[in-house]
Chains A and B, each alone.
Chain A
Amino acid sequence: MRLILVSFLFLSFSLSAKPFKVGLVLDKGGRDDKSFNSAAYNGANDLQKKLGFDLKVVESSDDTALEPSLRTFAQHGYDLVIGIGFIMKTPIEKVAKQFPKTHFLIIDSLVALPNVRSVIFKEQEGSYLVGAIAALASKTKVVGFIGGMDIPLIRRFEMGYKAGILATQPKAQLITNYVGSSTDAWRNPTKGKELALSQISKKADVIFQAAGASGLGVFDAAEEKKVFAIGVDSNQNWVKPGKILTSMVKRVDLAVSTTIEESMKDQFKAGEFSVGLAEGMVDYSLDEHNRKILTPEIEKVANDLKKKIIEKKIIVPDYYETNKK
């Protein structure tokens, strides 16, 4: 009996002394994409400096490496394994089933398993706000949208954006383009630029890009033709100060850091979390780089709309919902 008690004590001691281990798997963009992945990395890294857990980060060079990376973390007894991006859906589904005791977090996609937390951002709400801002800032009342790869996630941006435009300028015209339908579409800046130029030639003077690295070409076109662009995911206002009207920000960093914190306190909650303006997880950005071009009048309208969305007086159409059937 005493032996059992002692060994139990020893076990609990060794358990409490074991450091908390977090494994983070990023997608192709890598930790310095200045956007989606770097937000996730910074969220985890900043918290690690504060709380001092074990953090290991893997960047996958290609999509087939995702599943092995996730599995390796789980096999080595990591407490929380995080996958960034919609591309992680199938790999996490497989690995989470094999390791039911390990906790998983996936961003941007849904995995319905008891040990997985799925965080989905209401991109449509943030896009609605930048749509309203775009329509108000546009002189020609023609605005553009350039998506990267043509997937439902990006259609969700487009749908919210369009609703925001029509809410403030019912007669405004929206021109939509997609760079392509393969993963190459995220990294073709010259194509992004040509698409933007063609929209500008049709009188568009504000263009919202949700196109990864291809979006940098949209910024170039806006700079050359002296029109406005709108950034995405991270706050990109600094990339071309004075040319980027605002950015539609997704707080991936917060989603990652809060999940790690809760998990460390043994308060990990699995399930689907859909977060938006109300939670402060999507927003439009305002800083010293766009202060001069985003007028106080526009800011006021945007903040009013934001309040109405949070109070559920405005329901922004959601591409996932409208295309469920």
Chain B
Amino acid sequence: MFELLESCLRLSTPLLFAAIGGFFCERSGVATICLEGVMLTSAWSAAVVTYYTQNPWLGTLAGLLTGGFTMSLHALLVIFARADQIVSGVAVNLLAAGVTPFLNKIFFSSPTNSPAIAIEHRFHAISIPILSEIPLVGRIFFSQLPLVYLALILPFAAHFIAYKTKWGLRLLAAGDAPEALQSLGGDVKRTRFIFLFIGGLLCSLGGTFLSISHSSQFTRDMTAGRGFIALAALIFGKWRPLPTLFACLFFGFADSLQIRLQSAEWLTGNFPVQFIQATPYLITLLVLVGFMGKSRPPLSIGKEFK
């Protein structure tokens, strides 16, 4: 049971970063389906820089810069070059899927994976003194990888910024009523660019988590669809940070449950493994169809602002 919840938090972490990053992007009025690509590029550069410098902090910095840059590319295309937001998102994803193995091949003569980072140069679980001694809760919540803590705090911070600050008001206005923002003297394009960049930074933390916290190298396509699951979580959470937190935890939980059910003999004797592996997606479908009310996207999402 401990392991189930522990692994649920680990599996939710990259989703949380990507989904909250996506929250800032999408609420500013720009459809952002390139979370996957942003994560992938930052996972690659974080692994490479950590490998060469033997310092995961520098690796994280490199991941942030790369992710921010990749998202800026999307931002430039849609905000200033007025490209279609979906098309640009697809382009960034394809670019990331092609460029990462290409660069990896140049650096390490292998398109598939970067060299392994030694265990002492990766991030490790940190036990918070006193709190980690609490039975049950301590082990699950207070002896985790550093980024897991950050991921759990992030939705609350996003909630505060979006609903309690002046900047948040600008963010929501840019997404729901850009004309109103402009008529009051706000700069819609600038606001959107800034929030896309911030979203890109957050999203790239999810990528670095995959390559230098949770595993020990970059492998080709290692995001394996997490960017899209994060997007689903954002929609599932009705484009609001706190419900999105629960959506991410829910997806993470379903995945870690699936991992454990696979080796439960009473189940595997009666059901094919494929069925058990599909359960998280089945549950998601059921929840989306049955229990969720209307999810309203930001009003001006997907529309270009002239």
Contact = CB atoms under 8 A, between A and B. Distances in A.
Interface of A: 29-30, 32-34, 59, 150, 175-178, 180-181, 184, 187-191, 193-195, 197-199, 201-202, 213, 216-217, 219-220, 223-224, 239-240
A190 B277 contact: no
B256 interface: yes
A214 to B, nearest CB: 8
Nearest to B110: A32
Given A178-B273, A194-B10, A189 B219 contact: yes
Nearest to A214: B219
Nearest to B214: A190
B27 interface: no
Chain B interface size range:
20 to 34
A193 B109 CA distance: 25
Nearest to B105: A32
Contacts of A150: 273-274
Contacts of A239: 116
Nearest to A145: B263
Given A32-B112, A216-B113, A180 B263 contact: no
Contacts of A32: 105, 109-112
A270 B10 CA distance: 51
Contacts of A176: 262-263, 268
B260 A198 contact: yes
Contacts of A220: 215-216
A247 to B, nearest CB: 16
Interface stretch (B84-92, B154-162, B187-195, B221-229): B221-229
B259 interface: yes
B180 interface: no
B11 A194 contact: yes
Interface in B195-248: 210, 214-217, 219-222, 224-225
A195 B3 contact: no
Contacts of B113: 34, 213, 216
A96 to B, nearest CB: 28
Contact of A195 (B111, B221, B259): B259
19 contacts: A29-B112, A30-B101, A176-B262, A178-B277, A180-B277, A181-B273, A187-B112, A187-B219, A189-B215, A190-B11, A190-B214, A190-B215, A190-B222, A193-B214, A194-B255, A198-B259, A201-B3, A213-B219, A220-B215
B263 A175 contact: yes
Contact of B222 (A188, A195, A199): A188
A188 B216 CA distance: 12
B116 A199 contact: no
Interface of B: 3, 7, 10-11, 101, 105, 109-113, 116, 119, 210, 214-217, 219-222, 224-225, 255-256, 259-260, 262-263, 268, 273-274, 277
A161 B116 CA distance: 27
Contacts of B274: 150, 181
Contacts of B215: 189-190, 193, 216-217, 220
Contacts of B210: 190
Contact of B262 (A178, A187, A188, A190): A178
Nearest to B119: A223
Given A30-B111, A30-B112, A32-B109, A194 B7 contact: yes
A199 B259 CA distance: 10
A189 to B, nearest CB: 4
A213 B219 CA distance: 7
Contacts of A184: 221, 224-225
A293 to B, nearest CB: 17
Given A187-B222, A190-B215, A194-B7, 14 more contacts: A33-B110, A34-B112, A150-B273, A176-B263, A184-B225, A187-B221, A194-B10, A198-B256, A198-B260, A199-B263, A216-B116, A219-B116, A220-B215, A239-B116
Given A34-B110, A189-B222, A216 B119 contact: no
A189 B122 CA distance: 15
A198 B7 contact: yes
Nearest to A35: B112
B225 A198 contact: no
A198 B263 contact: yes
What 5 pairs across the A-B complex have the smallest Cβ distances?
A32-B110, A201-B3, A189-B215, A213-B219, A188-B224
Given A29-B112, A216-B113, A224-B119, A191 B216 contact: no
Contacts of A194: 7, 10-11, 255-256, 259
